[in-house]
Structure 1
Amino acid sequence: MSKQRLLLVDGMAILFRAYFATSFTGSIRRTSTGVPVNAVHGFVRYFMDAVNKFDPTHVICCWDMGGKTFRMDQYDGYKSNRPSAPDDLVPQFDLVKEVVASFNVPNIGIEGYEADDCIGTLASMYKDQADIFIVTGDHDLLQLVDDTVSVAIMKKGIGNYMVYTPQLLLEERQLTPVQVIDIKGLMGDTSDNYPGVKGIGEKTAHKLIQEYGSIDALLANLDGVSKTVRTKIEADMDMLHLSRQLATICCDAPLDTDINVCGWSYDREIVLNKFDELEFKSLVALIS
């Protein structure tokens, strides 16, 4: 029997991408009753493209649940700079999950955790029995790359991916997966709103990790670092450790998903009914 292929879909990343790819024109696709559906429509196109490209035997879609996460308990400012979702997008959060469910694909999310944590947990649960492909736009997930886990970063337009394996990550960025975390620990993350070490940007972080291999080795050899860098690190030691913690995807979230209920097979009639309800005539050709 050929090996299983599990596609893990970063639902929020794709939904937001679909929303912004279509809303910048100012005209939002709506049903005849006025329900905004532009993000859901775009999501289906991205989703079906990923299924066709990676040809999975199993598919799971992971979501942020909104509300407080354990990282906010660790650091008050975590993601506090995020603007709230556009009004036209909010009603589409539930709609998109209905569409995913119509394909017989589980929607997974856990209160207090992020979608990344669900993806990391599922990848670590199943990487020994399946080849795993994670579809996302989020470079943080590169820390999950492994011999059987590939991270497909979506590029501009539908159907364009950069599929990272350990080899490609090393070739393109000179990094191992675990070093992705250490770089974020040093430089912080403006989109998630944690600072790292004040005054250390991506270039310096990359150079230090190249040279020392890890934050731990760097701290063990602080005497060998230039005085300016050493002073910055010593002044921000607590934040360095906290930022590294915040950057680390949790791979043991309390999930009890069974891969056997995630097989990729759907009832065309059920999907057609959902498309009909949302007036997605142009997408009917995508489903066999």
Structure 2
Amino acid sequence: MKQNILLIDGMALLFRGFYATAYRGNFMKTSAGVPTNGVYQFFRYLLDATNTFSPTHAICCWDMGSKTFRTDLYDGYKSNRSAPPEELIPQFDLVKEVVESFDIPNIGLENFEADDCIGTLARHYATEHNVLILTGDQDILQLVDEGIQVAIMRKGQGNYEVFDHENFYEKRGIKPAQMIDLKGLMGDSSDNYPGVKGIGEKTALKLLQTYETIDALLENIDQLPKGVQAKINADLEMLHLSRTLAEIKCDVPISCRLEDALWKYDKEKVTKKAAMLEWKNFAKVL
């Protein structure tokens, strides 16, 4: 029987939850002074998603530090990101403790990003089951396939845009796998790699709609407008590097047994954890 497996992009939800409440200065500190706003909001998002999509299983994936094989390849990768706010730092460990109280496995591996763990698990489970990835991060759209959907969180709680292999082309004008080559051409300002200087999303989309892949594009480079040829030739090395940085690895050495990921939590255990964090109204959310 096919199961419905929810893969959660932990950092995407935690950061989103933190900033959604922090802008009002609402850090929800415990009497010991520990801020919990990001963690609290994380679980409101999680519970809304489980109510909306009714998974049978849930797994949460995490980044394990800022150094990965991508920073080894390109030291500018994500170097534009400032340090997290001090109120968020204690919440990185705290959120995993609360995830454990729900009996949801926490998965992460040093030298890889959460995306790589999500990609590996998604490909593995999708051979026999249905996978839904919950995130706010567009990079994960490259994983959309038969059996793999991505729910992008939009503004406002409970607002999702779901991408699947049937609606993807209509929404994006390319196939999911072409998202990697799209990033190779146009780069990614949030991850701080440039792609080909002077080629933006509009041109990159047009090129991929015509030639499908970067490899086919390079084989036919003499057919391109002179200006585009010049830009690509001037940035060939960065084009290939950007494509490598953009691609989510789906063969990371991690695994998670489905029986360890059943979405069936012990309300008493969760309530106890919530009480420790002084969340008075959490029982109403459960």
TM-score by length of 1: 0.97
1:77 — aligned with what? Answer: 76
Distance 1:97 1:203 in 2: 40
Alignment partner, residue 105 of structure 1: 104
Deviations 1:70-102 (A, max 9, x none): 001111111111111110000000110011000
Residue in structure 1 matched with residue 65 of structure 2 by the alignment: 66
Over the matched positions of the two proteins, sequence identity in percent amounts to 58
**Residues of 2 paired with 1:276 and 1:74: CA distance?**
45
Q: CA contact under 8 A between 2:121 and 2:255: conserved in structure 1?
A: no
In structure 2, C-alpha distance between the alignment counterparts of 1:94 and 1:254, rounded to whole Å: 23
- Which amino acid in 2 is paired with 1:27? N
Aligned to 1:171: 170
Structure 1 residue ranges without an equivalent (≥5): none
Work out the CA distance in 2 between the residues paired with 1:243 and 1:63.
Answer: 23
Q: Which runs of 5+ in 2 are unaligned?
A: none
Q: Tell me if the contact between 1:5 and 1:132 (Cα under 8 Å) persists in the aligned partners.
A: yes
CA RMSD of aligned residues (A): 0.9
Q: 1:280 corresponds to which residue?
A: 279
Q: Distance in 2 between matches of 1:270 and 1:60?
A: 18
Contact persistence 2:197–2:235 (CA under 8 A): yes
Please state if 1:213 is matched with 2:215.
no
Q: Contact 1:45–1:283 (CA<8 Å) still a contact in 2?
A: no
Aligned mates of 2:20, 2:80 — CA distance in 1: 22
Between the aligned partners of 1:66 and 1:58, the Cα distance in structure 2 is 26
* TM-score normalized with structure 2 length: 0.98
Match of 2:236 in 1: 237
Mean Cα deviation higher: 220-229 or 258-267? 258-267
TM-aligned CA deviation for residue 201 of structure 1:
0.9
CA apart distance, 1:268:
1.2
Once superposed, which parts of structure 1, at least 4 consecutive aligned residues long, lie more than 3 Å away? none
Aligned counterpart, 1:43: 42
**Alpha carbons 2:7, 2:118 under 8 Å: kept:** yes
Q: CA deviation at 1:147?
A: 1.1
Per-residue CA deviation, residues 94-123 of structure 1 (Å, 9 max, x unaligned), is 110011000000000000000000000000
User: Does residue 261 of structure 1 match 2:260?
Assistant: yes
3-state SS of 2:17 partner: helix
2 CA distance for matches of 1:173 and 1:167? Answer: 11
